[in-house]
Amino acid sequence: MENNKTFTMIKPDAVANGHIGGILDQIIKAGFSIKAMKLTALTPEKAGEFYAVHKDRPFYKDLVNFMSSGPIVAAILEKDNAVEDFRKLIGATDPKKAEEGTIRNRFAESIEANAVHGSDSDENAAIEGAFYFSAFERV
Ligand code: UDP
């Protein structure tokens, strides 16, 4: 499987707080190129489907409500070693633990409203990209 793609969402908190530009700027300066992108919104059903892997976790219901609370930006990104490098760029799930200068350190509000999503494996990057984008919506 290719290891040069990852999938990201700029989450509702970061869109509402005016951080789309700042986050995309940091992503591009870190060497990622955008292969697909859209501003969209998740229904609770779609958010539940996207995060189905977490359905037994205590935070699932709140996460689904949060992720369907406003617009998001979804994007497929390309770079060598994309998944691992992007996870480093965004920092730890909890912004209080995210390293200085990472996207979550700079832009996130809380462990839930943590500004961005980043795929955790090449397999999930492919699944998540396909969740949002058809072949015709990619360059
Ligand atoms: N999340 C949460 N509470 C937690 C852990 C996670 O609300 O205690 C949310 C948070 O938005 C996170 C998402 O659930 O980004 C998915 O969790 P995961 O453990 O996969 O973290 P990630 O891979 O996004 O860093």
Q: Which atom of ligand 1 is nearest to the CA of 120?
A: 23
The closest residue, in CA terms, to atom 7 on ligand 1 is 112
Kindly list the structural domains of the chain, giving each domain's residue range(s) and its CATH number in brackets, ordered by start: 5-137 (3.30.70.141)
Mutational test site, ligand 1, from 10, 55, 63, max ligand atoms within 8 Å of CB = 63
Tokens read off for 8 = 């990201």
What pTM was computed for the model?
0.98
pLDDT over 70 (residue 11): yes
Burial (CB count <10 Å: 0-12, 13-18, 19+), residue 23: buried
Look at residue 2 and tell me whether its pLDDT is greater than 90: no
Any binding-site annotation on 87? yes
Share of residues in the chain with pLDDT > 70 (%): 99
Exposed / middle / buried, residue 25 (Cβ in 10 Å: 0-12, 13-18, 19+): exposed
- Ligand 1 pocket check: which of 6, 93, 111, 114 to mutate, most ligand atoms within 8 Å of Cβ? 93
**Is residue 86 a contact partner of residue 8, using CB atoms and an 8 Å limit?**
yes
d(CA 131, CA 135): 11
- pLDDT value for 3: 87
Query: Has residue 75 got a pLDDT over 80?
Result: yes
Active-site entry in 72, 113, 117, 132: 117
In this prediction, residue 80 carries a pLDDT of: 98
- One-letter amino acid at 86 equals F
Alpha-carbon span 39 to 49, nearest angstrom: 19
Mean pLDDT score of the chain: 98
- Residue 100 has a pLDDT of 98
pLDDT digits (tens, 9 = 90+) for 18-62: 999 999 999 999 999 999 999 999 999 999 999 999 999 999 999
Q: Closest residue (by CA) to atom 22 of ligand 1?
A: 93
Q: Is it the case that residue 1 has pLDDT exceeding 90?
A: no
Res 67 pLDDT > 70: yes
Annotated active-site residue 117? The verdict is: yes
